[in-house]
Amino acid sequence: MKKFQFTPVEKIVGPAIAEVLPKDGKPWYKTRHLIQLNLLLLIPLISSATGGYDGSLMNGLQSLDEWKNKYGDPTGTWLGFINAAQNIGAAAVAFFSGWLVDRFGRKISLGIGLVLILIATAIQSCAIDIGQLIAARFILGIGGLIAAQPSPMLIAELAYPAHRGKVTALYNTFYYLGAILASWACYGTNGRGDDWGWRVPTLLQAGYPLIQIIFLYWVPESPRWLVSKNRISEARDILVKYHAGGDENSALVDVEMSEIVEALDVENESKAVQWRDLFSTPGNRKRTYISVTLAVSAQWCGNAIISYYFTLVLNTIGITSSSEQTLINGLLQIFNFIAAVFAALVVDLFGRRPLFLWSTSGMLVSYVIWTALSAIFNERGGKSYGRGVLAFIFIFFFHYDVAFTPLVVSYPTEIYPYHLRAKGLSLSFFVTYGALIIGSFCNSIAMTAIGWKYYILFCCLLVVIVINVYFCYPETKGHSLEEIAEIFDGPSRAIDIERNDEKQSIEHVEFNETAST
């Protein structure tokens, strides 16, 4: 009986890679080297959990009487500045981190970021005044960005070809893994009556980075970065070990190395890349437009109100109890994690573009209903309308999780060629944190001043986002990282990996390997 398969493998990785993938029929969880690789990829995957922890932590702390008493119950602009400090720190080093990743590699950059996060966590958990708290959050933003920048790149460039789409999409879903720990830590310490009520959740922010540092030594470097530094034998050894299970004669490794070397040759091994190259060709301008608009859309579709000011939203519908607020926040994060993981696992089944269209359309409808119910509750009161608002907050986030959680980082990572990947992601992160900084101030002030009426703005923005996705976001499923160039630059820029050219490409790899030694 023929085994049922949702999506043919050639539609996931492209025909060239599909032709040389092992045909033994063994699933990855029964293949030793793939189990080892996927377990190691958990280390960079966890980087996203740190960002999620911070967002949910700030929500939880705002609900804790102990924290409010310690810092004078900040509101409005002052609360916005406390939240924005982390984003300001991240934006300040967004472009520097791109240079760091290309100069010293993905792995070392990740380690530097993790150390800074631990330092910032120690300062924040011992903060005695708002000034120290803001300084700690600024350093946390710097470390968080330096750790976040290389992580999706390392995952995409190291993952097994048939797993790349899913594993890269899983990266941002780990945001909610961090949010779950933070929200339930705040719920568990709520009502203690002393400073440990907020210090314990703050200290736990060191948990994920600590795990990463302990196991980072065993994570291999990106083969593509090694090839760019002419360390070809090291790159091949990594692919042989983790993609071919030690088979030196693996056809899969030969094709992968051929693609990587030829792609870097075409890109001149990124030695003369300038920031202006992000806009130098029609294909690059389209890539940059997508990454910038995606970064803005992901932060200005209405989700940031919940991510950092859920307490204020719950206040508008009559849920003011500290225990209720922290409980609902904890349940929302678990719900988000389940929805986001589901979406990441089906990314190769549905494709990127259909998920984006589903996500944006669903968010628009949900937000309109959410806004209408908020208006009715404001005029008439009634618990049923408040519960309706709460229900549609969950429905909105389900649709957000369908595409924006798994694809907001993985999609820009895919569409940029190697020589622009670090710079493209730097720009994307800079725009993301710039949008968050503006939102940190505007959302707090607007929610305090006009309440539910502020939601109307996001209904309008979601209409624009839906239209932009429909006309500008192409499908990338069924292509390797190198082959995606064809979508943006045309067939003339695609890597030629047909069988009649394969021998020449492999000889080129061997020649460079000899030269490097």
d(CA 441, CA 139): 19
d(CA 145, CA 119): 14
d(CA 250, CA 257): 11
Query: Percent of the chain beyond pLDDT 70?
Result: 89
**Mind listing the pLDDT tens digit for each residue in 415-452?**
998 888 888 998 998 999 888 888 777 777 787 777 77
> Which pLDDT does position 339 carry in this prediction?
93
Q: Which residue type does 361 have?
A: S
**What value does the mean pLDDT take over residues 182-190?**
87
Kindly give the residue spans of alpha helices, DSSP state H, lying in 64-129: 65-70, 76-92, 94-104, 106-125
CB-based burial, 275-285: b 16+ in 10 Å, e otherwise: eebbeeeebbe
**What value does the mean pLDDT take over residues 282-305?**
91
Give the 3-state secondary structure of 353-377.
HHHHHHHHHHHHHHHHHHHHHHHHH
Q: Is 176:50 a contact under the CB 8 Å cutoff? A: no
Question: Mean pLDDT in the chain?
Answer: 84
> Which pLDDT does position 271 carry in this prediction?
52
4 CB burial (10 A radius; 0-12, 13-18, 19+): exposed
Q: Is 278:431 a contact under the CB 8 Å cutoff? A: no
- Which of 214-218, 324-328, 368-372, 406-410 has the highest average model confidence (pLDDT)? 214-218
What DSSP string describes 163-207? GHHHHHHHHHHHHHHHHHHHHHHHHHHTT--STHHHHHHHHGGGH
Among residues 215, 210, 138, 172, the alpha carbon closest in space to that of 409 is found at: 172
Query: Percent of the chain beyond pLDDT 90?
Result: 41
CB-based burial, 10-27: b 16+ in 10 Å, e otherwise: eebbbebbbbbbeeeeee
> Which pLDDT does position 454 carry in this prediction?
85
Q: What is the CA radius of gyration of the chain?
A: 23
Tell whether the model's pLDDT for residue 332 goes beyond 60: yes
> Which pLDDT does position 268 carry in this prediction?
54
> Which pLDDT does position 138 carry in this prediction?
93
> Which pLDDT does position 509 carry in this prediction?
45
> Which pLDDT does position 497 carry in this prediction?
37
Among 115-124, 389-398, 472-481, which is the least confidently predicted range?
Answer: 472-481
Tell whether the model's pLDDT for residue 208 goes beyond 70: yes
How many Cα atoms sit within 13 Å of 505 on the Cβ side? 23
Domains of the chain, CATH where assigned:
41-251+270-493 (1.20.1250.20)
Tell whether the model's pLDDT for residue 311 goes beyond 90: no
Among 137-146, 401-410, 473-482, which is the least confidently predicted range?
Answer: 473-482
Q: φ and ψ at 27, to 5 degrees?
A: -70, 160
Angle at the Cα of 65 from the Cα atoms of 60 and 67, rounded to 5 degrees: 65
**Mind listing the pLDDT tens digit for each residue in 482-512?**
778 888 887 755 444 343 344 444 444 444 4
> Which pLDDT does position 84 carry in this prediction?
81
Supply 326's token pair. Answer: 């922290």
Tell me which of 507 and 322 has the higher pLDDT. 322
Say whether 238 sits in a helix, a strand or coil: helix
**What value does the mean pLDDT take over residues 255-282?**
76
d(CA 70, CA 133): 11
Say what the pTM is.
Answer: 0.76
Kindly give the residue spans of alpha helices, DSSP state H, lying in 195-281: 196-203, 207-215, 223-228, 232-243, 251-266
> Which pLDDT does position 219 carry in this prediction?
96
